Amino acid sequence: MDGGGALPGPDGRLRCPWGTTAEDYAAYHDTEWGHAVHGDDALFERLCLEAFQSGLSWLTILRKRENFRAAFAGFRIAEVAAFTAQDERRLLADPGIVRNRAKITAALGNARVAAAWRPGELDRLVWSYAPDHTARPAPRTLGEVPASTPESTALSKELKKRGFRFVGPTTAYALMQACGLVNDHLADCWARPGAAAPLSAR
């Protein structure tokens, strides 16, 4: 990604530059990214996918998302927490997902941690780190969008303290961006005004 401002897409609408590079990106940018996501399972899915994205293109993850959902029981925490060693071998052999042993092991371990919590606790924990939306002006270029913030660093630290893995400050901030805790659509991006709208939890 460069540090430029919003660019027109094929429909003439101004978008964050990354949202103009592929149809998959445009759809995700327009309808999901930055919208408020609630629900333990929905947030667990996003945490897992952001962790799997580490070191890779998000487009790779986006195009494999349905495969991930099928492989990980729809990211229903209780079901993933019950996965066995046989399930782990199945995941490691699945060409439809990212077959990274450390990330797969972390996803299963994180599910077991979250499964022990009260219903809604993951949602409450994540959203308790949402910053004041008025504290930072809308970024005008990608160069003004941070890779991590004090809030994402604090969220990462708390998740790690509770036993989560693959949740560094950058991954935590990507989660915050994707799930609407922050609105990092550029100032001139047509999708920015609607980005606070909630998405129904699956």
Digitized pLDDT (tens) for each residue of the chain, 202 residues in all: 446 899 999 899 999 999 999 999 999 999 999 999 999 999 999 999 999 999 899 999 999 999 999 999 999 999 999 999 999 999 999 999 999 999 999 999 999 999 999 999 999 999 999 998 778 899 999 999 999 999 999 999 999 999 999 999 999 999 999 999 999 999 999 999 988 766 543 3
Residue numbering of the annotated binding site: 16, 29, 185, 189
In-domain check, residue 173:
yes
Q: Does residue 97 lie within any of the structural domains?
A: yes
> Which residue among the candidates 18, 25, 45, 50 is catalytic per the annotation?
50
Annotated catalytic residue, options 28, 129, 173, 190: 28
Task: Give kind and range of the element (H or E) at residue 52.
Answer: helix 40-53
Tell me if 188 sits within 8 A of 140, measured CB to CB: yes
User: Is 190 known to be catalytic?
Assistant: no
Which CA distances in Å does 167 have to 10, 107, 110, 154, 176? 35, 10, 10, 11, 12
Domain range for 172 = 36-179
- What is the torsional sign of CA 199, 94, 59, 100? positive
**Cα distance between residue 18 and residue 3, in whole Å:** 11
Task: Indicate which CATH number applies to the domain containing 129.
Answer: 1.10.340.30
Residues 6+ apart with CB under 8 A from 18: 1, 25, 29, 142
Structural domain includes residue 127 = yes
In a domain? residue 185: no
Q: Is 50 a catalytic residue?
A: yes
Does 58 participate in catalysis according to the annotation?
Answer: yes
- Alpha helices per DSSP H over the chain: 23-31, 40-53, 58-71, 77-81, 85-92, 101-115, 121-127, 150-161, 169-178
Q: Furthest-apart CA pair in the chain: how many Å?
A: 50
Provide the domain count of the chain: 1
- Tell me whether residue 15 is in a domain: no
Asked if residue 98 belongs to a domain, the reply is: yes
Binding positions for Zn(2+) are 16, 29, 185, 189
Q: Exactly one of 18, 25, 33, 58 is catalytic; which is it?
A: 58
The residue type of 171 is: T
